[in-house]
Amino acid sequence: MQLDNKLMSMHEAVSRYVHDGDVIVIEGFTHLICFAAAHEIIRQQRRDLTVCRLTPDLIYDQLIGAGCVRRLVFSWAGNPGAGPLYALRRAVEQGIPNPIELEEYSHFGMVARLTAGASRLPFYPLRNYMGSDLPRVNPRIKTITCPFTGEELAAVPALNPDTAIVHAQRADKNGNAQIWGLLGVQKEAAFAAKHTIVVAEEIVPEKTIRDDPNRTLIPGLIVDAVVNEPFGCHPSYAQGFYDRDNNFYVQWREISADVRRFNEYLEEWVFGMADRAEYVSHAGDSLARLRAGTHLCEPVNYGY
């Protein structure tokens, strides 16, 4: 485990752990999608990334439209409830700003790939894909025969990204991170990656973590960098902190459909901002309106 100080700015975390050509995962299923990290990657103008996510969502639409991406590995590429991802479409259909390659699975396939990666298994077996055309267009979906029953199952290869970026509600300075609400594949992504950046709404004392150890999803011993970034997921959300900005997801349809408006968005909200703190103050009241109400759980007893 790395022993020196892991607490750093997003600028420093991205410049240390995201390099041109890297395989990157920024996970979070609807919940805890770290837009702050993507914006910093765009600001640092990383190129030729292979970006992997179950749902590319707006976050990868932005990375693709900003020219950071060479290859997309995914399972569902839409703007949830609000249409297509137009920057992705432009890249695929017209090579704007650059052509990208697609590598396509289903959700279960992506979950299985990250689980294999986290387990340092070379593949993961699943009962899937028979009768589907997906294996026909993706030669990395193969089959394997059970040595006990003779059944043929599907197999997908491990996914071990160079760096995973996972957002958490809270973490201590060593990266022990606690998450509640939807868990997605945050744990699997962090364990699968060679390097992990934990971004947290709050940096808390180690005692807060130790008070409820079953809540820890990601242990500090696999974490390389810890970034404190309040509102770091907007327009995604953080349960107990702020709601999803559903209006922005709808607006994105118009923004991303038009290259000019897309670039204006990047100019104003990404390149025009030094960091997430500036984004938050630039957004002002529109973020404050999203702040979560209070719905506390009851404590449990860890005594013996």
Q: Would you tell me which residues interact with a copy of itself (CB under 8 A)? A: 120-123, 125-127, 140, 142-144, 146-149, 151, 153, 155, 157, 169, 178, 180-181, 183, 208, 211-212, 214-215, 237, 239-241, 243, 292-304
- Position 76, amino acid: W
CB-based contacts of 96, cutoff 8 Å, min separation 6:
90, 259
Alpha carbon 232 to its chain centroid, in Å, reads: 12
Q: Which is nearer to a copy of itself, 120 or 282 (CB)?
A: 120
**By CB under 8 A, residue 84 contacts another protein:** yes
Residue located via tokens 């969502």: 57
Contact pattern from residue 5 through residue 44 relative to another protein, giving x for each residue in contact according to CB under 8 A and a dash for the rest: ------------------------xxx-------------
Instruction: Tokens for 185, please give them.
Output: 């594949």
Question: Residue 267: which of a copy of itself, another protein, none does it interact with, CB under 5 to 8 A by kind?
Answer: none
Minimum gap (Å) between residue 199 Cβ and another protein? 18
Closest residue by Cα to residue 166 from 139, 191, 132, 134: 191
44, 24 in Cβ contact below 8 A? no
Residues 156-215 that bind another protein (CB under 8 A): 176, 180-185, 187-188, 191, 206, 209-211, 213-214
Q: Which is nearer to another protein, 21 or 122 (CB)?
A: 122
Rounded Cα gap, residues 118 and 9, in angstroms: 26
Minimum gap (Å) between residue 90 Cβ and another protein? 11
Rounded Cα gap, residues 91 and 65, in angstroms: 7
Minimum gap (Å) between residue 72 Cβ and another protein? 11
Minimum gap (Å) between residue 74 Cβ and another protein? 7
> What sign results for the dihedral spanned by CA atoms 210, 211, 213, 218?
negative
Residues 91-130 that bind another protein (CB under 8 A): 92-93, 104-108, 111-112, 115, 118-121, 126-130
Q: Which is nearer to a copy of itself, 81 or 260 (CB)?
A: 81
Closest residue by Cα to residue 193 from 53, 25, 12, 5: 25
Residues 257-286 that bind another protein (CB under 8 A): none
Minimum gap (Å) between residue 93 Cβ and another protein? 7
> What sign results for the dihedral spanned by CA atoms 96, 98, 101, 107?
negative
